[in-house]
Amino acid sequence: MIRRRRLRATDNLRALVRETSVSVSDLIYPVFVIEGKDIKNPINSMPGIYQYSIDRLDEELDRIREAGVKAILLFGIPEHKDEVGSEAYNEHGIIQEAIRYIKKVFPELVVIADICLCEYTSHGHCGVIDHGVILNDETLPLLAKTAVTCAQAGADMVAPSNMMDGHVAAIREALDEAGYEMTPIMAYSAKMASGFYGPFRDAAHSAPGFGDRKTYQMDFHNAREAMRDIFDDIEEGADIIIVKPGFSLLDILKTASVETDMPLCSYNVSGEYSMVKAAAANGWIDEKKIVMELMTAFKRAGAQMIITYHALDVARWIREED
């Protein structure tokens, strides 16, 4: 008789043989900063998540400090959008000013700047367009400029999420030229065109005005292609690899952890968060249990870090367990 239950007998025995754990230092919390004054806008589809203007940001930073979360992923929402997303690479744009402010008042917080044009373009696509076509090579210099202005503002890391070909190389080259060779790139390498980003587009005002993102984000039917995208980004100079969305790409995350030696990050995206919050609000699930199980699944599949809107709650729950 093989008695697996021997090691399942008590809490302390189970803790002893546990293979995976989630720590507060694994967590990255997304923050939305909006241009304007005295703004704290709730996102209806994401209970507990708000857009803050810089003058109200202290409230959010205090919550982050109190939770002990050490890293944030920053998204900017500009007042003015145009065809070419100029506010993304304005030295004094919303994200650049937010980075400056946060690094001034909370210098030890790791600030990661999301690098994309979709929040900044009038058409909501992640690149510049010509007659309905999203242009690749013409978009690259704009992304590079966005990354450099964020690094100049004090960003600790940049996270290109736009899925243009060659974006990691273009950003690496521009950062190096500008003297930011020590600024790491966290690349959204396997990012699928997904229905799970719906609520984010309310939060970031970034829904595409026409069509969808399928000509640049990956087709979610393909696992081997995802590995090609990951290897391309490694070759182009990525320091950390993001796999996204979290739940539906656990297989890709696992493969990446077996086939590469890169630090891996799972992005537990907006739609995943909203589903959990909706079910919990209805009393259908136990929020803490479900969220901790999911966080553990990301770690078990191979992630060293997790971008999650649940980060502040998870940090509190981990502390309560100790």
Enumerate the active-site residues.
191, 244
Phi, psi (rounded to 5 degrees) for 155: -60, 140
Q: Which amino acid is at 280?
A: A
What residues does 71 pair with on adjacent strands?
Answer: 28, 110
Q: Are 198 and 45 in contact (CB under 8 A)?
A: yes
Choice from 109, 134, 256, 269 touching ligand PBG (CB under 6 A): 269
Distance CA 91, CA 53 (A): 18
Choice from 67, 98, 111, 126 touching ligand PBG (CB under 6 A): 126
Distance CA 52, CA 233 (A): 32
Chain residue whose CB lies nearest ligand PBG: 200
Task: Choose between 85 and 283: whose C-beta lies nearer to ligand PBG.
Answer: 85
Give the nearest distance from C-beta 200 to ligand PBG in angstroms.
Answer: 3
Binding mask 232-251 for ligand PBG (x = CB under 6 A): --------------------
**3-state SS track over 185-254:** EEEEEEEECCHHHHHHHHHCCCCCCCCCCCCCCECCCCCHHHHHHHHHHHHHCCCEEEEECCHHHHHHHH
For residue 118, state whether it binds ligand PBG (rule: CB under 6 A).
yes
Residues 180-219 that bind ligand PBG (CB under 6 A): 197, 200-201, 206, 213
What's the half-sphere exposure (Cβ side, CA atoms, 13 Å) at 181? 3
CA distances from 79 to 56, 204, 223 (A): 16, 12, 38
Give the nearest distance from C-beta 241 to ligand PBG in angstroms.
Answer: 15
Give the nearest distance from C-beta 172 to ligand PBG in angstroms.
Answer: 19
Q: How many residues interact with ligand PBG (rule CB under 6 A)?
A: 13
Q: Which amino acid is at 85?
A: G
Q: Which amino acid is at 64?
A: I
Give the nearest distance from C-beta 198 to ligand PBG in angstroms.
Answer: 7
Task: Choose between 57 and 242: whose C-beta lies nearer to ligand PBG.
Answer: 242
For residue 161, state whether it binds ligand PBG (rule: CB under 6 A).
yes
Give the nearest distance from C-beta 35 to ligand PBG in angstroms.
Answer: 17
What is the three-class DSSP state of 255? helix
Task: Choose between 5 and 303: whose C-beta lies nearer to ligand PBG.
Answer: 303
**Where along the sequence are the contacts to ligand PBG (CB under 6 A)?**
114, 116, 118, 126, 161-162, 197, 200-201, 206, 213, 269-270
